Structure 1
Amino acid sequence: MKSFPAALLSIILCCALIARAASAEQETTAAGRDRTLSQLSGTIVDTSGALMAGATVQVRSANGTVQSTTRSDKNGVFLLPGLPAGTYRIVVSKPEFETKEIPITLATTGTLAPLRVSLAVSPVTTTINVQGREDDLTGIADSATQGTVGAKEIQDRPILRSGEILETIPGVIITQHAGGGKANQYFLRGFNLDHGTDFATFIDDMPLNLPSHAHGEGYSDMNTVVPEFVKRVNYEKGPYYADVGNYGSAGSAHLEFFKTLPRNFVQVEGGMYGYGRAVFGFSQKLGPGNLLYGGEAYHDDGPWAHADNYYKFNGLSTYSQGDDADGFSVTGRGYHGRWNSSDQIAANAVPLVGLFGTLNPTDGGNSQRYSLQGEWHRQGAYSETRVTAYGFYYDLDLFSDFTYYLTDPVRGDQFEQHDRRWVAGLDAHHTIFSQWFGRKVENTFGLQVRNDWIHNGLYQSQNRMRVDKTDSSTGNTLPATTEEDRFTDTQPGFYVENKVQWASKFRSVVGMRGDVDYFNVTSLVNAANSGAAIKALPSPKASLTFGPWASTEFYAQAGFSFHSNDGRGATQNVEPISADNPAPNTPTSPIPALIPTKGGEVGVRTTAIPHLQSTVSLWYLHSASELQQSGDTGDTVASQQSSGRYGFEWANYYTPFEHVAFDLDLASSKALFSTLDGDDAAPGSPGGRRVPEAVGLVISSGVTVHNDHGLSASLRLRYFGPRDLTSDGIYRSQATALLNGEANYRFNEKWRISAELLNLPNRRDHDIDYAYTSQITPTAAPAFTDIFHPVEPIQVRFALRRSF
């Protein structure tokens, strides 16, 4: 089976090359007969008529694809030869000036007269329609680790799961330790972010993270995202951005979705291990606006001995009017999924059940999320306003088993987590463009309010049935209901931000946030855990930018942020009766509602080498506590002492030729507790200062060929290095390295076929590793050992796409 997928990919590539060779002469002849290659030229000036050197001139096709890029010379002149007849948009931009777009049509006969383009001075920042990593952010971005990934880059990447869209962000790793329908595990900047605790994700300004979630704080499920509808991913790292509050300490991702599709499409996919997928998308004029609608049906068994049998269905519909300066949109989304789960297994269980086996075939779950959001925006010469309102319903039932027979050798250790909530929120900001003593200024005032009405619980279960259990160490009864609560989680936040262009080579951004988290908890198990808690936290932030000199900018940043804790922990006075605490009425202390963080960063961004975008950054982040409420046990876990993380990142995107792109992103980090941590140490060890499961070295690299005579291909390496699994470093994971490939061939404007090869070397690495005590059978001895979830083996997937 190892050679079968490779042989199939070779056949596709050979057919594509033969087709290309056979059609090359016909294309050349047709080009000479039907199309005239035209030269486009012009001069760039400012509003005073002064010639403008160094302005970027891009030619984009009707669907937004960049066809050619150049810069004006010292006389303001640009020249773009060799353009075939057709309709285009000329996009002219330069830092500190407004961007101008000019529609043009090149005919098969005649010559277009030279253009004269006048650019007006902009407010502090330049608004540029950034499409992806090939675009120059010098003079635009506020840091070296702020950027944009476009739809073209997302579509050209082979991906196993929809959550891997976020791996387009340099330094981010996405893994999975259970069935496909569970939220991914995220890693970035020395964090095991669990399911999103310190990484904020937004869908068209609607937050994806779920506070006070039954399974984990900040739970962020990317299964609700269909990659084909993502227009771009805007990302930023560190606690330096005033518009990002909760969960934004390590970074944030803002997924922006298409309002109108470049082309309507239908796509079907199939592959090994029961993989099948169908997705479609259409957009059309409807009255004065545009209607976009689409959906996805998905199934995957995976290589597991007990198949995941993961079904998911996504649908969305958007109606929009207007343009980037003035308009509105209304979007509805729906997601439903159900799955079995081959959860993580202990290393000593592999001889018993195999590498892809499971110790509890009844694990799994189901989830759904339905949302409605509306957005309105307006921009004029002196101000800009954007308002987004949203509401959604969410439901999850999750059955997991991490210790097998350690607690109850008869009924096992499976537990159920249930989360059901209604959410409503508002995100609004208003920006005023002005001048202070001749210096361009932007002042932004923002308001973000969110309220979650939550009903969640933690239950003992066997074969997905709630049952009482008996604790093996004490003989005490563990009630079927460990905890169950109804509560509200209210999070208002307000921010102000000031941007000033002090000089041609120096600008600043200073911001202040104020956030409040208010919990009102009603415990349905123990009235002592009912009550209210409130916490307010200020978060100042600042960024300084110097340059550009020789197409190079320098950045210095510092700021404060936070993540919220589970509302149940903020009012908890008595420990729930569980395996971790089998004694009733054990007193405990509430945990902080908000955990503050602070950090700093210096960085460099340069485009001094032609066609190369390169950034380097050094950063530090301090967290006041690692203490959290555990949804798995009902009590508090992790360490109360503070921790510090530091590291560097180097990101590169190189486009030496029109159809070829190379990228190399490298990140390295270290995470340390401020004092010795004995709670997360190996048995018999006094502990150490290493933060368990913190990611260290991450490498992401690839080469992509874009639409070269209809052929596109991508080959990508994804690597993350060994991680400490205990605070003393006695237990460590192995490194994980995956090589994935994709190739597709466009026969014409309507038809495209593609193939993905995942885990080409067929490595048996681990997606995730932990170290703790478990008992794999009712009669086995408890053992402290490595607990892991393997990566999926080599597999091939095919897709056929029809565009309209």
Structure 2
Amino acid sequence: MRFFVSLCLLFSLVRITAQDMNGQLVDSMGIPVEGAYIFNHRSQAHAHSDENGFFKISQTIPGDTLRMGALGFKKIVVQITEQQTTKRVTWVFDEAAFELNEVVIRPTIDALKVMTEIDLQTQPVRSSQEILQKVPGLIIGQHAGGGKAEQLFLRGFDIDHGTDIAISVDGLPVNLVSHAHGQGYADLHFVIPETIKNIDFGKGPYNPDKGNFATAGYVGFKTKDVLGQNTLQLEYGDFGFNRTLGLFNFVNTKSNKAYMATELVRFDGPYVSPQNFSRWNLFGKYTARLVDDSSLSATLSHFTSTWDASGQIPQRAVDNGTISRFGAIDDTEGGQTSRSNLNLSYHKLLGEQTLLKANTYFSQYNFELFSNFTFFLEDAENGDQIKQRETRNLFGMNVGIDKKISREQKDIGLQSGVGFRTDAIDNNELSRTINRRTTLENIQLGDVSETNLFGYLNLEFPLGNLLLAPGFRVDHFSFGYVNTLSTTYDNQTVDKILFSPKLNIIYHADKDVQFFLKSGMGFHSNDSRVSVARSGETILPRAYGVDVGTLFRPHSKLLINTAIWYLLSEQEFVYVGDAGIVEPSGKSRRYGLDFGLRYQLTDWLFMNTDLTYTKARAIEEPQGNDFIPLAPDFTFVGGFNLTNLGKFSGGLRYRYLDDRPANEDNSIIAEGYLVFDANLNYQWSKNFSIGVSIENLFDTEWNETQFATTSRLQNEPTPINEIHFTPGTPFFVKTNLRYTF
């Protein structure tokens, strides 16, 4: 009897003293470690660190053993003291070789971003083209040799330059609304690849905090707070390629960090008429960690780019020998662009379970592009060259609250936020020109204004292993356009409000298995010029989506994700080659399968692959005439990455894009391709490394971008509708020398 009473008293004591414990995890440079797992051996309780490295683990008593781990760091195993249960303790992770068995599937809506975390650990980003290709299933194509934003393909979308994917950097939006060249134009070339810390991504319109353009998905890049080392790097390659990179820490203390990065890239390309591409980037970031559990960061960046592009060429001109694959019909195409950004971010811990996140930003942007898609179709004497130009000021603010509400030993999550964005665009122009010098006719010329006010709310209710996450978003848009070609002043305006509900259900069986059902409504906005012309009707076309899938680890060294999905779009955007613009079309539906795999074959060899199958069709067109131009139905990307094999690292990557329809009746085919790239690096001393990379390893003849376009050459009596393309780069070698200090 005495033993039974003592046992009861012991259990009562444990129940009384067991409590929530708060901590923070940082790396050796004092940078918070996000996504680390914390596990209590006695209670089996577990937790994950947030973006500031903070965590709270329940049911903890003195004497408990905690195990903590994160990708790329050594495990921490500690026995908790009584003092540590009463105040927040900071633990420091030491770096270690990457191990896939350290991956923990987090019980969140965006658990799939662990795939990009693995890819960044095993194969760091080394070029601007690689930045977006780190997103599983995303394929890019460049049709101006690096000057224009890339053409994007994801989930059966030819997204053009960004119409159906929302892209941001540290909360700064990249997509540009009502752009002179295309709605949602997303030029990411102001980002220096070596400054990227991690990549957040999601597919489908399921996140309440993601608004305009987040239909096929979203990508959020986060830059580093501090550099691991100062770096000087020189790269040299075929076709006049050279790149100079500098990365410099100025301040690196526990409370203050500051660095600068600069990059200069030049490239002529394999073309008969050199593209004379030149891009200069400058990026600086300062971060202060304040004594009141808050942090303040400021980033300032500028980039400018100029190029002479050979542009798209007709297949018939190559077939009949008029030009080579790398020739040009109009070699006076090209352009110039620049963007300057200021972004201020503030994070503040309000109590133990409430985080305030805010940022405000300003961008000044200039763009001028000369293109010739149809050659002599409209003007047999002067040709059909067009100019697209604009000057833009973009500013806005985001304010969000992440809060945990404790109810009956459960933490209910609440994410809410408000914000705004304003674009003021002067002289948004489309004109007919000759040789980039003489303007023949102004087709469109005007000033655009567009403001988006928004708010969102998301709740996360834990029900055992189930997480129920309902949410909604509300957006108010104000569009304005002043046509300066009009003989009288005419300021056209229109307003629109849109509600977007979401519902996501996550079943987190354990740290190795997660099932999900995601659903929601999203949207992309129309160009302001279209919006005011339609008096606000169908100017915010919706997308309705649902995903069902799983993320699981059948083996400690293997991680797999699968999903079947469906997306209905109220409106498509179709590329119009003769005008060089994108115009709205009808309804469409897409459904398909995603599959991704990450596998650690040995301590130093990793494999990754992502494939997508999609069926995309227009709804309101008759069968056989309902194909969506350039919508890919099958993509397959992946590779093998070599890490920490003595002094060697490197990788082999491949990307496959299947044949796809180039027009609505599938009578013109955009040919697919399979291209391999490779790189190998050698660390010959503590401070010096050398490397070589090869694009198009097997010298495949491939077309990087393709369009079905009606055009006429100068000696042709009638127009012809056929494939116009930009040739993919042939076998291309680059070498690099890196010095770190």
What's the TM-score, normalizing by structure 2?
A: 0.86
Amino acid at match of 1:388: N
Amino acid at match of 2:120: E
Kindly state the Cα deviation for residue 286 of structure 1 after the two structures are TM-superposed: 6.8
Q: Whole-Å Cα distance in 1 between the matches of residues 450 and 77 of structure 2?
A: 60
Of the candidates 444, 447, 454, which is equivalent to residue 486 of structure 1?
447
Cα RMSD (Å) of the superposition? Answer: 3.6
Structure 1 residue 622 corresponds to structure 2 residue 536? no
1:187 aligned partner:
153
1:564 aligned partner:
525
Structure 1 residues 325, 629: CA separation in 2 closer, same or farther (over 3 Å shift)? farther
2:466 aligned partner:
506
Q: Whole-Å Cα distance in 2 between the matches of residues 214 and 434 of structure 1?
A: 46
Kindly state the Cα deviation for residue 339 of structure 1 after the two structures are TM-superposed: 0.2
SS at match of 2:189: helix
Structure 1 residue 460 corresponds to structure 2 residue 397? no
Q: Whole-Å Cα distance in 2 between the matches of residues 133 and 333 of structure 1?
A: 35
1:277 aligned partner:
243
Structure 1 residue 331 corresponds to structure 2 residue 299? yes
Stretch moving more, 524-533 or 698-707:
524-533
SS at match of 1:594: coil
Q: Whole-Å Cα distance in 1 between the matches of residues 344 and 415 of structure 2?
A: 21
Structure 1 residues 590, 327: CA separation in 2 closer, same or farther (over 3 Å shift)? closer
Structure 1 residues 183, 560: CA separation in 2 closer, same or farther (over 3 Å shift)? same
Q: Whole-Å Cα distance in 1 between the matches of residues 444 and 543 of structure 2?
A: 30
Structure 1 residues 74, 370: CA separation in 2 closer, same or farther (over 3 Å shift)? closer
2:116 aligned partner:
149
* TM-superposition CA deviations, 1:776-799 (whole Å, max 9, x none): 224453111111111100011000
Q: Whole-Å Cα distance in 2 between the matches of residues 113 and 157 of structure 1?
A: 25
Kindly state the Cα deviation for residue 437 of structure 1 after the two structures are TM-superposed: 4.2
Structure 1 residues 565, 65: CA separation in 2 closer, same or farther (over 3 Å shift)? closer
Kindly state the Cα deviation for residue 707 of structure 1 after the two structures are TM-superposed: 2.0
Matches within 5 A, 1:187-206: 187-206=153-172
Structure 1 contact 325–378 (Cα < 8 Å) conserved: yes
Of the candidates 665, 669, 693, which is equivalent to residue 614 of structure 2?
669
Q: Whole-Å Cα distance in 2 between the matches of residues 542 and 463 of structure 1?
A: 53
Kindly state the Cα deviation for residue 115 of structure 1 after the two structures are TM-superposed: 3.5
Structure 1 residue 369 corresponds to structure 2 residue 329? no
Structure 1 residues 728, 117: CA separation in 2 closer, same or farther (over 3 Å shift)? farther
Q: Whole-Å Cα distance in 1 between the matches of residues 501 and 491 of structure 2?
A: 33
SS at match of 2:424: strand
SS at match of 2:660: coil
Structure 1 residue 398 corresponds to structure 2 residue 358? no
Kindly state the Cα deviation for residue 179 of structure 1 after the two structures are TM-superposed: 3.4
Kindly state the Cα deviation for residue 709 of structure 1 after the two structures are TM-superposed: 1.2
Structure 1 contact 389–427 (Cα < 8 Å) conserved: yes
* TM-superposition CA deviations, 1:649-675 (whole Å, max 9, x none): 111111243322111111111111112
Q: Whole-Å Cα distance in 2 between the matches of residues 113 and 172 of structure 1?
A: 36
Q: Whole-Å Cα distance in 2 between the matches of residues 331 and 732 of structure 1?
A: 45
1:226 aligned partner:
192
Structure 1 residues 519, 703: CA separation in 2 closer, same or farther (over 3 Å shift)? same
Structure 2 contact 119–134 (Cα < 8 Å) conserved: no
Kindly state the Cα deviation for residue 608 of structure 1 after the two structures are TM-superposed: 2.8
Amino acid at match of 1:510: P
SS at match of 1:233: strand
Matches within 5 A, 1:588-627: 592-627=538-573
Amino acid at match of 1:570: S
Structure 1 residues 332, 148: CA separation in 2 closer, same or farther (over 3 Å shift)? farther
1:756 aligned partner:
693
Kindly state the Cα deviation for residue 140 of structure 1 after the two structures are TM-superposed: 3.1
SS at match of 1:232: strand
Structure 1 residues 114, 129: CA separation in 2 closer, same or farther (over 3 Å shift)? closer
* TM-superposition CA deviations, 1:484-505 (whole Å, max 9, x none): 01121101111011111121x1
Structure 2 contact 604–645 (Cα < 8 Å) conserved: yes
Kindly state the Cα deviation for residue 156 of structure 1 after the two structures are TM-superposed: 2.9
Kindly state the Cα deviation for residue 556 of structure 1 after the two structures are TM-superposed: 0.4
Of the candidates 405, 420, 429, which is equivalent to residue 449 of structure 1?
420
2:89 aligned partner:
none
Kindly state the Cα deviation for residue 166 of structure 1 after the two structures are TM-superposed: 1.1
2:269 aligned partner:
302
* TM-superposition CA deviations, 1:631-666 (whole Å, max 9, x none): 973887352x31001111111111243322111111
Give the fraction of aligned pairs with identical amino acids, expressed as a percent.
27
1:586 aligned partner:
none
Of the candidates 242, 259, 273, which is equivalent to residue 208 of structure 2?
242
Structure 1 contact 96–139 (Cα < 8 Å) conserved: no
1:522 aligned partner:
482
SS at match of 1:359: coil
Amino acid at match of 2:515: F
1:378 aligned partner:
348
1:356 aligned partner:
326
SS at match of 2:670: coil
Structure 1 contact 414–461 (Cα < 8 Å) conserved: yes
Structure 1 residues 374, 631: CA separation in 2 closer, same or farther (over 3 Å shift)? farther
Matches within 5 A, 1:11-30: none
Q: Whole-Å Cα distance in 2 between the matches of residues 482 and 133 of structure 1?
A: 58
Q: Whole-Å Cα distance in 2 between the matches of residues 142 and 120 of structure 1?
A: 30
Amino acid at match of 1:352: T
Structure 1 contact 148–234 (Cα < 8 Å) conserved: no
Q: Whole-Å Cα distance in 2 between the matches of residues 325 and 647 of structure 1?
A: 45
Amino acid at match of 2:344: G
Structure 1 contact 333–371 (Cα < 8 Å) conserved: yes
Kindly state the Cα deviation for residue 725 of structure 1 after the two structures are TM-superposed: 0.7
Amino acid at match of 1:626: E
* TM-superposition CA deviations, 1:59-97 (whole Å, max 9, x none): 97769999xx999897799xxxxxxxxxxxxx9999989
Of the candidates 643, 649, 657, which is equivalent to residue 706 of structure 1?
643
2:628 aligned partner:
691
Q: Whole-Å Cα distance in 1 between the matches of residues 190 and 511 of structure 2?
A: 43
1:424 aligned partner:
395
Structure 2 contact 122–642 (Cα < 8 Å) conserved: no
Kindly state the Cα deviation for residue 240 of structure 1 after the two structures are TM-superposed: 0.4
Q: Whole-Å Cα distance in 2 between the matches of residues 157 and 318 of structure 1?
A: 20
2:599 aligned partner:
654
Stretch moving more, 642-651 or 323-332:
323-332
SS at match of 1:571: helix
Structure 1 residues 730, 628: CA separation in 2 closer, same or farther (over 3 Å shift)? closer
Structure 1 contact 139–548 (Cα < 8 Å) conserved: no
Of the candidates 515, 520, 533, which is equivalent to residue 554 of structure 1?
515
Structure 2 contact 18–59 (Cα < 8 Å) conserved: no
The unaligned stretches of length 5 or more in structure 1 are 1-45, 52-57, 78-90, 104-111, 122-127, 469-479, 574-588, 678-685
Q: Whole-Å Cα distance in 1 between the matches of residues 555 and 631 of structure 2?
A: 34
Amino acid at match of 2:562: V
Q: Whole-Å Cα distance in 1 between the matches of residues 383 and 674 of structure 2?
A: 34
What's the TM-score, normalizing by structure 1?
A: 0.79
Q: Whole-Å Cα distance in 2 between the matches of residues 539 and 559 of structure 1?
A: 7
Q: Whole-Å Cα distance in 2 between the matches of residues 273 and 120 of structure 1?
A: 62
* TM-superposition CA deviations, 1:171-206 (whole Å, max 9, x none): 100101223211100000110000000111101110
Structure 1 residues 632, 349: CA separation in 2 closer, same or farther (over 3 Å shift)? closer
Structure 1 residues 590, 432: CA separation in 2 closer, same or farther (over 3 Å shift)? closer
Q: Whole-Å Cα distance in 1 between the matches of residues 185 and 123 of structure 2?
A: 28
Q: Whole-Å Cα distance in 1 between the matches of residues 590 and 638 of structure 2?
A: 24
Q: Whole-Å Cα distance in 1 between the matches of residues 200 and 593 of structure 2?
A: 20
Kindly state the Cα deviation for residue 696 of structure 1 after the two structures are TM-superposed: 1.5
Amino acid at match of 1:381: E
Q: Whole-Å Cα distance in 1 between the matches of residues 58 and 210 of structure 2?
A: 25
* TM-superposition CA deviations, 1:31-67 (whole Å, max 9, x none): xxxxxxxxxxxxxxx999999xxxxxx997769999x
* TM-superposition CA deviations, 1:83-142 (whole Å, max 9, x none): xxxxxxxx9999989998799xxxxxxxx9983258989xxxxxx999999463523331
Amino acid at match of 1:449: F
SS at match of 1:688: coil
SS at match of 1:564: coil
